[in-house]
């Protein structure tokens, strides 16, 4: 009789399978300092998540991307207001103009509004809100794929100059244990 | 409205059993701590709720419930900089099936399983509206004829596609037996 009592529990556990043996794991990547002096002097950051132990530990069993953010400090170096965007290309690229980035990449994040000469610390919550659906889709595709892509920080329009310091890419992956 | 309809449907489904079997019905409230399990983006929070134990057979209790949780902030420290992430606010309703009778006199061991609808929300993320499963063990002790105290440990597992978000809940509560039928 006691054994019979445990059957529903065991059946439920069996049915849940790998759903039970999964979790949400943090993977971060250092984007460092990015200094963009003009729309024709853009610098991309090539990301290879395979350099990160946390990613390698789970990459064979990643099911989805649960949360993601681009963190750090962003400064507008000009006297005019600036809308900051982040674009991604799914491969390792070296575009040097924002026109090339827009023609070949995906708008992943933004815009983040900065006043003249303003520097802002981008919080995790704020950053998650600024991620676009297309950006999330591309990030998830890359996290589940080869883990390499390129990040470009640009202004939305006009002439601009900006600096990112202590930049980080943060991903929370849904994966098996 | 949807929750009320769910509860009504559960009660209607149980009505024939209740009418023939005889049993007891009570109400209870509970509260305690909720711990994220293997979730790097959520912190420890609190949980609370209400339940309606229906003792339909001598050893079977069906227990519709409503629960709410306010999870703590997730935290990431990267090169000395600490970033925090809004924790989930969760509401859930469903039903547990318990082996045992929480309103019986004396000390009671109360294992249970359950299923429910879970709604998780937080800033900057799409809401999660998914089925969840509960696996738990409670201990109960009747302090008065109609009043009993309970402590429970529970795994609440909200299915998110091929994975799940899991919470460990430790709660204490009080049950009051409304009537016998």
Q: Which residues are CB-contacts of A70 (< 8 A; sequence separation ≥ 6)?
A: A31, A86, A109, A122, A127, A131, A151, A167, A168, A169, A170
The rounded distance, in Å, linking the Cα atoms of A14 and A17 is 5
Count the helix, strand and coil residues of chain A and give each as a percent rounded to the nearest 5: 30, 45, 25
Q: A100: domain range?
A: 21-176
Residue A7, in any domain of the structure = no
Please list the residues that pair with B110 across neighbouring strands: B138
Q: How many domains does chain A have?
A: 1
CATH topology of domain B27-73+82-180: Porin (2.40.160)
Is residue B3 within 8 Å of B93, Cβ to Cβ? yes
Residue A6, in any domain of the structure = no
Nearest Cα residue to B113 out of B92, B130, B136, B86: B136
Residue A157, in any domain of the structure = yes
Chain A and chain B share a number of CB contacts under 8 A equal to 105
Pairing relationship of beta strands B89-99 and B128-142 according to DSSP bridges: unpaired
Minimal Cα distance from A32: which residue of B? B79
pLDDT for A89-135, tens place per residue?
A: 999 999 999 999 999 999 999 999 999 999 999 999 999 999 999 99
Grouping H, G, I as helix, E, B as strand and the rest as coil, residue B52 is: coil
Nearest CA of chain B to the CA of A128: how many Å? Answer: 5
| pLDDT-derived band at A176, boundaries 50, 70, 90 | confident
The rounded distance, in Å, linking the Cα atoms of B52 and B176 is 9
Chain A positions touching B99 (Cβ under 8 A) are 5
Is residue A32 within 8 Å of A145, Cβ to Cβ? no
Chain A positions touching B85 (Cβ under 8 A) are 67, 69, 124-125, 128
Nearest Cα residue to B72 out of B170, B167, B173: B167
Minimal Cα distance from B74: which residue of A? A124
Residue A156, in any domain of the structure = yes
Residue A1, in any domain of the structure = no
The rounded distance, in Å, linking the Cα atoms of B65 and B19 is 21
Residue A2, in any domain of the structure = no
Nearest CA of chain B to the CA of A121: how many Å? Answer: 10
Q: In this structure, what CATH number is given to the domain that contains residue A39?
A: 2.60.120
* B80 Cβ under 8 Å from any chain A Cβ: no
Is residue A122 within 8 Å of A73, Cβ to Cβ? yes
Return the domain boundaries, chain B: 27-73+82-180
Element (H, E) at B125: none
- Provide the 10 A C-beta neighbour count for residue B112: 23
How far does CA B148 lie from the centroid of its chain? 17
| pLDDT-derived band at B105, boundaries 50, 70, 90 | confident
Minimal Cα distance from A7: which residue of B? B113
Minimal Cα distance from B110: which residue of A? A5
Count the helix, strand and coil residues of chain B and give each as a percent rounded to the nearest 5: 10, 70, 20
**pLDDT tops 90 at residue A21:** no
- CB contact under 8 Å between B163 and A19, yes or no, is yes
pLDDT for A57-79, tens place per residue?
A: 999 999 999 999 999 999 999 99
* B125 Cβ under 8 Å from any chain A Cβ: yes
């Amino acid at each position: 009789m006691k054994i019979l009592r445990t059957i529903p529990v065991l059946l439920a556990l069996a049915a849940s399978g790998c759903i039970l043996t999964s979790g949400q794991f943090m993977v971060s990547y250092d984007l460092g300092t990015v200094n963009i002096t003009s729309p024709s002097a853009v610098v991309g950051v090539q990301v290879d998540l395979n350099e990160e132990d946390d990613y390698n530990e789970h990459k064979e069993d990643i099911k989805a991307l649960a949360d993601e953010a681009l963190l750090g400090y962003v400064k507008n170096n000009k006297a005019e207001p600036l809308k900051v965007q982040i674009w991604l290309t799914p491969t390792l690229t070296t575009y040097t103009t924002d026109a090339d980035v827009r023609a070949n990449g995906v708008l992943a994040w933004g815009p983040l509004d900065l006043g003249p000469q303003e520097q802002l610390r981008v919080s995790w919550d704020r950053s998650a809100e600024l991620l676009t659906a297309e950006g999330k889709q591309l990030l998830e595709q890359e996290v589940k794929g080869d883990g390499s892509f390129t990040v470009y920080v640009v202004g939305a329009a006009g002439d601009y100059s900006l600096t990112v310091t202590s930049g980080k890419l943060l991903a929370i992956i849904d994966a098996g244990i | 409205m949807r929750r009320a309809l769910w509860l009504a449907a559960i009660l209607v489904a149980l009505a024939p059993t209740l009418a023939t079997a005889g049993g007891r019905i009570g109400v209870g409230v509970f509260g305690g701590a909720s711990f994220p399990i293997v979730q790097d983006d959520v912190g420890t929070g609190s949980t609370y709720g209400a339940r309606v134990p229906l003792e339909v057979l001598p050893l079977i209790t069906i227990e519709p419930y409503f629960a709410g949780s306010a999870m703590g902030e997730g935290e990431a420290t990267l090169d000395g900089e600490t970033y925090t992430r809004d924790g989930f606010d969760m509401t859930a309703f469903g039903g547990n099936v318990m082996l045992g009778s929480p309103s019986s006199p004396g000390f009671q061991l109360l294992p249970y399983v359950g299923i429910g609808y879970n709604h998780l929300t937080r800033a900057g993320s799409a809401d999660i509206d998914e089925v969840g499963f509960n696996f738990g063990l409670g201990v109960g002790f009747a302090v008065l004829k109609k009043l009993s105290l309970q402590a429970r440990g529970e795994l609440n597992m909200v299915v998110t596609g091929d994975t799940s978000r899991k919470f460990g809940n430790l709660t204490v509560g009080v049950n009051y037996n409304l009537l016998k039928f």
